[in-house]
Amino acid sequence: MRVAAKRLGEREAALLVCLDDANYLHEARQLNDLLYRILRLYEAWDVRKPGVFAISSDLRLNLYTAVDERVRSVFHPTEVFFSPYAKSEIQEILGDRIRQGLYPNVVPKASANLIADLTAKEQDIRVGIDLVRTAAENAEGAGRRTVTRKDVMDASRSIITPTLQKRAADLNEGERALLYRIAEMAQKTDADMTSGAVFEATQEYTSTGATTYRTRLKRLEEAGLVDLPLRTDRGRTREILLRFAPDQVLAACERIGKTSAA
């Protein structure tokens, strides 16, 4: 900071910082401290007030409310909204990459559509690009000239699972225990996945109170592991929807080795 402040002073310039994937900084619990240090720079050094561009791919995350009061006092963002890619746009982008990087017919239409579906679910075009590359490498490694469904699904496990693994590892033991129980229930097709029903089910394993339960559930939503849509047919009850396959969630939690409640 000292060197940066000195150069800014010499040039009479203002510091502009771009935080790409700021939602991941939030998940890692680093966003608050980082913004505080940047935005308060002018108080410690005789420089102009800095500016921050914070880019988030998580449309549910409100960066302003995600930080504490000391940061909000100097952080007044103006939101510029870019709509997520529609599936047709994803197909077009990935189709261009496939045509530019691979021989014709290496990725048949069915495989390309599957990659687009997985990409749309992740809401990250980079996942799709990685899926194309890894699936093609899988086919090449098997001595085939055509990418199969298995190639794509194997690629998805090597690309999507690390994201899940990191998010699960960032949870505390109690939060991860709740995630594990939710995944167990989600495997049952007839399970009631409303927040109240899941709370009652978790009481078989732990005597966690309602306040702690809600706090942990909110943390899972913030980490991008579950969605909590409102059930209009059930008062103000929320439904708990996993953003990853239940078996992938269970495997991630078991790999960490801590599924007991804290």
Give the domain CATH number at 175: 1.10.10.10
pLDDT for res 86 = 92
Q: Is 107 part of a structural domain of the chain? A: yes
- Domain tally, the chain: 3
Provide the 10 A C-beta neighbour count for residue 257.
8
Beta strands in the chain (DSSP E): 16-19, 51-54, 226-227, 241-242
Last residue of some domain: 123, 147, 167? Answer: 167
**Is 35 among the domain residues?**
yes
State whether 10 and 31 are in the same domain.
yes
pLDDT for the residue numbered 178: 95
- Cα Rg of the chain (Å, integer): 22
Backbone conformation region of residue 238, classed left if phi is above 0, alpha if psi is from -120 to 50, else beta: beta
Domain range enclosing 64: 2-72
Residue 36 lies in a domain: yes
Residue 189 or 139, more confident: 139
pLDDT of 233 reads 67
Query: What was the pLDDT predicted at 234?
Result: 59
The amino acid that residue 14 corresponds to is: A
| Residue 77 placed within a domain | no
Is 191 domain-assigned? yes
